[in-house]
Amino acid sequence: MRTSEELTWGYKMKDIRLGNMTLPNGETVGFRHYAGGDRTLVLVHGNLASSKFFDELIQKLPEGFTVYAPDLRGSGLSTYNNPIDDLRDFAGDLRLFVDQLGLTTFDLLGWSMGGAVSLLFASSYGYMVERLFLICPIPVSGYDSFALDGQGNRIQLKTSEEIKADVTKKKLVKAVETSDKEFYRKLWSSAIYNKKQPEQEIFEIHVDETLRQRSLMDVYYAVAKYNMTDSFNGVSMGTGEISRIQVPTIIMQGEDDLLVSVEAARFTKESIGQNAELLVWDECGHSPFVDRLDELAACIARN
């Protein structure tokens, strides 16, 4: 089977290198790197994914970009020696990662949960971020977990114990632990690639990367208590950190995203303020890397 680097998309293929580094906190980070030009872009993937999901975007970007895409702790080729309790753990890893690379300023792009990680990073280290791109980011007020009662009403799960006991979450975790490819083929087809399917070989690579994750249950609680607003979200009181985002920010949202609504993206834009711009793409779900690859790459290149 060909790797995604070997798939031809109608342009000269870039030499994406794999690397790894051990951070001061004892975690080893696997990452993808393309040595291009003077503009540096750091890519942060979402839940049930890895840096591998960015391969096609990296290929599409102009030669002027040097790109780094780390695997978050517990995903891809990275270790999971210390379980996370908060999305700030990922943001802290990212700071250690860019420091070890010697990066002082760069563009930052986060997809889905990676958007939340990128916002947390930018709220603390905004002086390092030249431009912020948020791709279908989870809501700044947190990503709720719900169960259904006997009447079919949704009940918010508020604690780590409640989330771990949830039947649906258990199924998702078990499918990873048992390498149930068919389970995640169906999930990705219905929930992520609801508008357009990637090439079959790339699709299979994505499923394989999903099954590498070891942090899934911890992530479910972390996204539930994530809250950068100044309000209570049912799990945690907001930190108000969203008001610290001063860097130029572009939010790219799929109109047909089944995981993050356009309304949530608008709320993110409004919460950030005048330095944020929202682009809503039709015929696009939760993965613009598949549905709107050309537009996504062009937006990053021209801004």
What's the predicted TM-score (pTM) here?
0.95
Least reliable range by pLDDT among 1-5, 88-92, 151-155, 199-203? 1-5
Measured distance CA(57)–CA(135) in Å, rounded: 12
* Model pLDDT, residue 149: 81
Read off the tokens for 216. Answer: 């899934």
Q: What is the mean pLDDT of residues 169-180?
A: 98
The third-level CATH classification (topology) of the domain covering 4-302 is Rossmann fold (3.40.50)
Q: What is the mean pLDDT of residues 24-36?
A: 98
How many beta carbons lie within 10 A of that of residue 197, not counting itself? 13
Q: What is the mean pLDDT of residues 225-247?
A: 98
pLDDT digits 0-9 by tens, 257-289: 999 999 999 999 999 999 999 999 999 999 999
Residue 8 has pLDDT above 60, yes or no: no
Read off the tokens for 177. Answer: 């632990």
Average pLDDT over the chain reads 95
DSSP 5: G
How many beta carbons lie within 10 A of that of residue 68, not counting itself? 20
* Model pLDDT, residue 12: 62
How many beta carbons lie within 10 A of that of residue 37, not counting itself? 11
